[in-house]
Chain A
């Protein structure tokens, strides 16, 4: 019933949300994976996001060596 009236002259292009959500999902995945990679391989070695705490470094220390990251 309202369909006839709804043929409005001011038509705004509908964004393709399926493509947008795919882009968002891929970007979020890359960011989270990069964060995990950074914490595992770099944080508390040279730089430390949480001050001088070394818990993450000490915990995954052997994994760092196994995976070829620079260490002590």
Chain B
């Protein structure tokens, strides 16, 4: 069965990645283009200011493009988004397998699709929502090149802390369910998760690197669409995975029905 779950996760990830890329290509890419236009106007102004003193070094800013903008915004962005969604689908399938192995055995009357839905919501919050809350996404040219290492490391740390804390919170909530009830257990686990995130946010560095003159509306629109993009991705992933699980369930019921008919 776990083989089927992973297949369902990869399929759901593929569909979610394609839908998410179409969304991002329509809504986010124009913001990226505006940010790059700002960046280029800045570096041109800088170049002209330096041109007099450093006439010989004029091609210093003429960075060699490895891939053209057209390839990056279409092919590269599409492949990247689908790879990300496939990875999330794979993680989703493993998490569901482990969760259902426990929940399905302990509370057999549970609808597996409710578990899928809860997992989708918690996955969205842990893997995207909280890291975004601590380090909001930015369009190109917002962010100092010198801090890219520190920013990447901090983002990875908050993502790992968030995902691991969420896994522990779910384990705690399930352990408490029979003792103090599902709602009380989930509340305690949720508070614990938020405390861990609050402490981590306090300990991690902050970055305020928006360049002077950068259009605020571009950052605002970019962030709103970045959130919407992940809502689309996780919703499609969850719904397709739930549909696949339903198909497996129906098939099992059908097989059981066939067995009963055959036995008669």
Q: B139-159 toward A: CB 8 Å interface, digit per residue (1/0)?
A: 111010100111111111000
Q: In the bound complex, what is the Cα–Cα distance between A63 and B229 (angstroms)?
A: 11
Cross-chain contact of A63 among B2, B65, B77, B93 (Cβ < 8 A) = B77
Q: In the bound complex, what is the Cα–Cα distance between A63 and B85 (angstroms)?
A: 11
Q: Contacts of A45 on B, CB cut-off 8 Å?
A: 148-149, 152
Whether A60 and B97, one on each chain, are in contact in the complex, defined by CB atoms closer than 8 angstroms, is no
Decide yes or no whether B131 CB sits under 8 A from chain A: yes
Q: Given the known inter-chain contacts A36-B87, A67-B80, A70-B155, please indicate yes or no for A61 contacting B148, CB distance below 8 A.
A: no
Q: Contacts of A30 on B, CB cut-off 8 Å?
A: 90-91, 94
Cross-chain contact of A37 among B6, B76, B87 (Cβ < 8 A) = B87
Interface size class for chain B?
A: 35 or more
Q: Given the known inter-chain contacts A30-B94, A58-B72, please indicate yes or no for A66 contacting B77, CB distance below 8 A.
A: yes
Main SS of the interface on chain A? Answer: helix
Within 36-94 of B, Cβ neighbours of A (below 8 Å) are at 65-67, 71-73, 75-81, 83-84, 86-88, 90-91, 93-94
Within 18-64 of A, Cβ neighbours of B (below 8 Å) are at 22, 25-26, 29-30, 32-34, 36-37, 40-42, 45-47, 54-55, 58-64
Cross-chain contact of B84 among A42, A59, A63, A70 (Cβ < 8 A) = A63
Interface centre among B90, B97, B128, B139 (most CB of A within 10 A): B90
Main SS of the interface on chain B? Answer: helix
Q: Contacts of B87 on A, CB cut-off 8 Å?
A: 33-34, 36-37, 40
Listed from nearest, the 10 A-B pairs whose CB atoms lie closest are A63-B80, A60-B80, A68-B137, A33-B90, A46-B149, A62-B77, A46-B152, A70-B151, A58-B66, A33-B87
**Residues on A close to B: CB < 8 A?**
22, 25-26, 29-30, 32-34, 36-37, 40-42, 45-47, 54-55, 58-72
A-B contact pairs, 26 of them (CB 8 A): A22-B2, A25-B2, A25-B3, A33-B90, A36-B83, A37-B87, A40-B80, A41-B152, A41-B156, A42-B156, A46-B153, A58-B67, A58-B72, A59-B66, A59-B76, A59-B79, A60-B77, A61-B72, A61-B76, A66-B81, A66-B229, A67-B137, A68-B230, A70-B143, A70-B151, A71-B138
